[in-house]
Chains A and B, each alone.
Chain A
Amino acid sequence: MSVQASIEAKLQALEPSMLLVENESHKHHVPPNSETHFKVTLVSERFGGMLPVKRHQQIYALLADELAGPVHALALHPYTPEEWAARGGERPDSPNCRGGGR
């Protein structure tokens, strides 16, 4: 299974009403077709009343194997359905690479 498919499968535990996993590795200094940098946008009722830091920690816990292995960066944008609607379905852009940490 690809890293992307594995991330998508594991995040089903959060019962997302919307899940978007984007491979942004091509924006970084890694070989072609790498699976190292991802952006996850996840909308779930589960995040209601939960601080952002806790939402992220829940996702990190589910993806501990990926983060300990192939995944180098993971941009997370977790929202409740209400927050997602208020944003009009817009997710933020990830920053550009600065070439460090290789």
Chain B
Amino acid sequence: MSTTIDTIKQQIGENPILIYMKGSPQLPQCGFSAQAVQALMSCGERFAFVNILDNPDIRAELPKYASWPTFPQLWVDGELVGGCDIIVEMYQNGELETLIKATAAKHKDDQPEA
């Protein structure tokens, strides 16, 4: 049986663009998550999400692993980019789209065919 930390590492390792959030992109349950996921969606690339309200183990363990106490958290290429404030600031100055587009392009060949 895998531990929660193993699950987190696997999620971060297998999904080059991953957001941990409260609720879903279609129905965010927190203003900070809503703002962050809206910025991410505007970049126009596919991304993965984990609803931490449905995953209390991840909600409890990820802040320790990430040295980041709150949600949302955006992880790109295995690295924590930041939470809502950083995501929105990067969106406004264009850095977010650059990062997301570059990451999607880099990984477009290693996604398994559906």
The distance in angstroms between the C-alpha atoms of A99 and B28, with both chains bound, is 10
If over half of A's interface residues share one DSSP class (helix, strand or loop), that class is named, otherwise mixed; here it is mixed
Query: Quick check: is A60 within 8 A (CB to CB) of the other chain?
Result: yes
Chain A residues with CB under 8 A of B30? 97-98, 100-101
Query: Quick check: is A73 within 8 A (CB to CB) of the other chain?
Result: yes
Stretch at the interface among A5-13, A15-23, A50-58: A50-58
The tally of residues in A whose CB lies under 8 Å from a CB in B reads 23
Query: Quick check: is B13 within 8 A (CB to CB) of the other chain?
Result: no
Contacts from B to A (Cβ < 8 Å): 22-23, 28-35, 53, 67-70, 80-86, 88-90
Contacts from A to B (Cβ < 8 Å): 52-53, 56-57, 60-61, 64, 67-68, 73-77, 92, 94-101
